[in-house]
A and B are shown apart, each in its own frame.
Chain A
Amino acid sequence: MSVADGIRDRLGSEDGPSPGLTAATALTYLFLYGPILVVVLMSFDAGRYGLRGELTFEWYANMAGRSDLIDALLLSVQIGLVVMVVSTVLAVVAAFGLARFEWPRRKGPIATYLVFVPLTLPIIIYGIGLFVFFTELGVGRGFVPIVIGHVMYTFPFATLVVAAGVIDLDRTLEEAAMDLGADPVTTFREVTLPALAPNVLAAALFSFTLSFDEFLISFFVSGAGAIPLPVRIWGMVRADIEPEVYAISVVVLIISITIAGLATRLRR
Chain B
Amino acid sequence: MTSDLHVENVTKDFGDVRAVDDVSFTVEEGKFLTLLGPSGCGKTTTLRMIAGFETPTEGQVRLGDRDVTDEEPYRRPTSMVFQSYALFPHKTVGENVGFGLKMREVPAEERAERVGEMLELVELPGTEDRAIDELSGGQQQRIALARALITEPEVLLLDEPLGALDLKLRKNMQVELKNLQEELGITFVYVTHDQEEALTMSDEIVVLNDGEIEQRGTPTEIYENPRTRFVADFIGDTNLLDGTYVRNGDGAAVRCGAVELPVSPIDSIADGTDVSVSIRPEKIRIGETAGGVSVDGEVVDVIYQGNIAKVHVDVGGARLVSERQVVDSIDLPAAGSACTINWDREHTDVLTG
A interface residues (Cβ-Cβ under 8 A, vs B) = 170, 172-173, 175-183, 186, 190-191, 194-195, 197
B73 touches A178 (CB 8 A): yes
B89 touches A179 (CB 8 A): no
B82 touches A176 (CB 8 A): yes
Q: List 14 A-B contacts (CB under 8 A).
A: A170-B84, A175-B73, A176-B86, A176-B87, A177-B99, A178-B52, A180-B103, A180-B148, A182-B74, A182-B103, A183-B74, A191-B88, A194-B90, A195-B88
**In the assembled complex, B231 has its CB within 8 A of some CB on chain A:** no
B104 touches A175 (CB 8 A): no
A178 touches B74 (CB 8 A): yes
A195 touches B74 (CB 8 A): no
A195 touches B80 (CB 8 A): no
Cβ 8 A contact of A179, one of B78, B84, B88, B90: B78
Residues on the A chain within 8 Å of B99, using CB: 177, 180, 182, 190
B residues contacting the other copy or chain, number (CB 8 A): 23
> In the complex, how many angstroms separate the beta carbon of A53 from the nearest chain B beta carbon?
54
> In the complex, how many angstroms separate the beta carbon of B133 from the nearest chain A beta carbon?
13
Residues on the B chain within 8 Å of A177, using CB: 88, 99
Residue of B nearest to A195 (CB): B90
Residues on the B chain within 8 Å of A173, using CB: 86, 88-89
Residue of A nearest to B80 (CB): A179
> In the complex, how many angstroms separate the beta carbon of B263 from the nearest chain A beta carbon?
48
Residues on the B chain within 8 Å of A170, using CB: 84, 86
**In the assembled complex, B147 has its CB within 8 A of some CB on chain A:** yes
Residues on the A chain within 8 Å of B73, using CB: 175, 178-179
Q: Please, how many angstroms separate the alpha-carbon atoms of A3 and B326 in the complex? A: 60
Residues on the A chain within 8 Å of B53, using CB: 175, 178-179
Cβ 8 A contact of A180, one of B52, B79, B89, B90: B79
Interface string of B130-151 (1 = CB under 8 A from A): 0000000000000000011001
Q: Please, how many angstroms separate the alpha-carbon atoms of A233 and B82 in the complex? A: 57
Q: Please, how many angstroms separate the alpha-carbon atoms of A197 and B89 in the complex? A: 12
